[in-house]
Amino acid sequence: MSDPLVALMVASGVPSVSAEETARNTKLAAQVKAAFETARAFAPSADTVLNGTLVLATATRFPSTGSEDQRKTVLSYIARGKITREIQLAAALAFIKENPAKAIDEASFDSIVGVGIAPTPAEIKDAVAALITQVKADLVAQRYRFNFGTLFAELRKHPRLKWADGPVVKEQVDAAVLATLGPKTDADNAKVKAPAKTAEPAAAAAAAAASTSASSTSTTNKADAVATGPLTEQQIAGAFLHFHKVGENYKTENYVVTPKTDELLKKHVAKINGKVHTRFPPEPNGILHIGHAKAMHINFTFARVNGGKCIFRYDDTNPEKEEERFFVGIRQMVDWLGHKPAAVTHTSDYFQELYDLAVELIKRNHAYACHQTEAEVRDNLPSKYRDRPIEESLIVFEDMRKGKYDEGKATLRMKHTMEDGKIDPVAYRIKFHPHFKTNDKWCIYPTYDYSHCLIDSMENITHSMCTKEFQNRRMSYYWLCNALDQYCPVQWEYGRLNMNYTVMSKRKIQKLIELNIVRDWDDPRLFTLMGLRRRGFPAAAINDFCARLGVTMASATVDPQLLESCVRDELNFSVDRVMATLEPLKIVIDNYDELTLTTSTLPAGAKEAVSVAVPAKGTNAIEVLRIPGDASKGLRSVPVGKTMFIDRSDFREANEAGFRRLTPTQPVALKYCSLLITLASIERDAAGNPTVLHVTGAPVTAANKPKAFITWVADVPASAGLASSARTVELRIVNQLFLHKNPEDKETVPGGWLSDVNPNSLVVLKGTAVDAGAAAAKIGDCFQFERFGFFVVDTDTTDKHLVFNQIVTLKEDSGKN
């Protein structure tokens, strides 16, 4: 036992194993050594044996928000024998956590920690006997299956017994129970058969499903990840339960408390009426992506479910990278996702206040003007200007503001070392570039490390939430607010969202645009919010996806399937069905005029459609449900006629095993109109390819029930108020942009991320036929093309040229033929 600290702890009653383990942790060992030294200073005499177990517990468990004076008080109580038991120490630490930086009055603290209260065995016995008398009827009825935990909980409410040693109390309870019931019988020892499980309540089932979906994203999702319907408001609110309550900042881990914290918190709570205040602070130097949607969800939703406010703040401190289109585009995305900011602000709104605080920071000797080069700052070299006189720094900083220094020739730096070891982060730098909002009023601009926490403080933000990579800036955030005696919000971190098969950095997206791999920031193959909107992803689906991810520290790398499943959930019950043929093949029903068709009617008040037969001759259209199985959405007209189009994939000239659609020997049915068609003859082009199929039709019956029903589009001119059903359109099939999950992984993609671009990321089909339901669609309208997927009308659409983007595929059996 050569280590003096180990010897000290063991001599004070700490088990040797615990002492040696503590000594191996350099940082903890220093804290423990300091605690023993402090306690020894308060000991009545040099011969006093300290309670090492309690001293060690104080060193390891003392609240980070507690003050040094409070720590000394607790250690003095241990040294003087006023705190002698773990239950007393727990009460002391709980009080300090609830009252950080509060001066301790020893008289009241004695009562709080139970000084001098030592219940005698007789007291304990009498209290236990009285309690057993109160519950005797239930105890006798339930015998040893009685919930004895309730007895101990009740005894802990006793003003004196709560300070009693637990083993002594248990001994008295056990004795009283034995005296009342006698020894356990065989019946007492018999196992109780568990009751049969009842059906899981719908809310609990939904919560479990949501938990499964969200937790699975902490690592890469499996391809078959599915959503289970939108989360409820209660489920969404549950994700935020670990956040501190308004005004209780000091209860969060590592929050720094100063003598002014209590006063500042009270003023803060009064200004915001005790309501949650969050903010969404994007930089207007690019377009938002799916990760920003998660940030929006967390900030806006947390405020909303708690009856608070969320401020939308442009963090506009880099004028050379900011453009009007980015300001506009970001606001459009916030509105599109349905978020309602309580206010729209800019960091530039506070430039004067930030400058004034910087001057104050210099005056307090917490900042200095520096002339190190950018390379020297980047290399983390100590600055020879750190100890320059305060007045000199004030003059240089003022000259920076007046434009007397060139860019890169002077900065303002804070006297603080960040958690990542970065020395004296820059607070202000010179940029001779007009600002979008302030024009040329300023030529010095604050950095994120300087401005972010101070603006949060000025706007009375209660919860400052950011992604995990900012965790190492949290102590700098707290330091700066406290160095200026400003209200200090709490910084909370959450895991960053990454998506497989794509890139989301602004620099890489810009490169894709420059190389014409994608067209622009709103290309539907990108996971920018503009791209997802153009692709047809509903805002509600994106919000639901973000809710499923939860609010944890785990970074999420998610396959697109989880987002797509949320999209299907949203679209499946909200968009009209239409029929389309991706590669049209004309059919002529030779006996069409002799047939009857099936159409649907919807009698008033009916919950289901009724099928009726109508003669084919003279019928221009049949009625079908807009959404199958949902009569509340009504009916739509589908043109019919002798000439129709089916999809070329629905016909084979030779029979193939497993193929269930049209062949020369196998009939197939046309969906909705209940016609069974059988091949009669084939017209071909010069190369021998089928161009027209002549078929004969017959009603579908139980006797001739086909193996499959196929979709179709009638080739009829505009008539009876219907648009031509055979309008040809362009379809764009969107596939993953990259071939590998992580195109930036040099091991799986040694040629670099640009070499991994999927050559089939966008497949364009021209000449597709759609029925009347989509023939007159407008930009942004969404449909389900039956059997083929969900589609949206693209912004490239004109009056003469209709363009659809595939939103997502259908969840069909891939083996269905």
Name, in order, each residue with C-beta under 8 angstroms of 317's C-beta and a sequence gap of 6 or more: 283, 347, 348, 445, 446, 447, 448, 451
Token pair belonging to 447: 């950095």
Render 568-627 in DSSP notation, one character per residue. HHHHHTTSEEE-EESSEEEEEETTGGG-EEEEEE--TT-SS-EEEEEESTT--EEEEESS
Q: Whole-angstrom Cα distance, residue 100 to residue 707?
A: 75
Q: Note the Cα 674 to chain centre separation in Å.
A: 47
Residue pair 318/428 in contact by the 8 Å Cβ criterion: no
Which of 85, 275, 506, 652 is catalytic? The answer is 506
709-710 and 643-647 beta bridge pairing: unpaired
Among 304, 496, 534, 732, the active-site one is: 496
Distance of CA 354 to the CA centre of its chain: 31
Cα 665-666-669 angle, rounded to 5 deg: 145
Interatomic CA distance for residues 265 and 101, integer angstroms: 12
Q: Which amino acid is at 554?
A: A
Q: How many residues does the chain have?
A: 817
By C-alpha distance, which of 774, 708, 689, 765 is closest to 731?
765
In whole angstroms, give the CA distance from residue 470 to residue 476.
10
Number of Cα atoms under 13 Å in the Cβ half of residue 454: 26
Q: Indicate the Cα dihedral angle 568, 570, 574, 576, nearest 10°.
A: -20
Distances (CA, A) of 670 to 200, 563, 592, 680, 698: 42, 33, 13, 16, 10
Interacting residues of 227 by C-beta distance below 8 A, sequence separation 6+: 213, 544, 545, 548, 562, 565, 566, 568, 569
Distance, CA of 427 to CA of 414 (rounded, Å): 6
Cβ neighbours of residue 503 closer than 8 Å, sequence gap 6 or more? 509, 512, 737, 738, 743, 744, 753
Contacts of 657 (CB under 8 A, 6+ apart): none
What stretch of H or E contains 114?
none
Q: Which of 283, 360, 583, 730 is catalytic?
A: 283
Distance CA 7, CA 753 (A): 58
- Rounded to an integer, what distance in angstroms lies between the CA atom of residue 437 and that of residue 537? 33
Helix (H) or strand (E) holding 770: strand 762-770
Answer for the pair 633, 709: CB distance below 8 angstroms, yes or no: no
Question: Which region holds residue 496: left if phi is over 0, alpha if psi is between -120 and 50, else beta?
Answer: beta
How far apart CA 176 and CA 496 sit, in angstroms, is 57
Closest CA to 547 of 307, 219, 228: 228
State yes or no: is 283 an active-site residue: yes
Burial (CB < 10 A; 0-12, 13-18, 19+), residue 181, is middle
* Phi, psi torsion values for 641, nearest 5 degrees: 180, 175
The backbone torsions φ and ψ at residue 560, rounded to the nearest 5 degrees and listed phi first, read -60, -20
In the beta sheet, which residues pair with residue 645? 586, 713
What's the CA gap between 633 and 573, in Å, rounded?
10
SS3 459: coil
Residues with catalytic function? 283, 496, 506
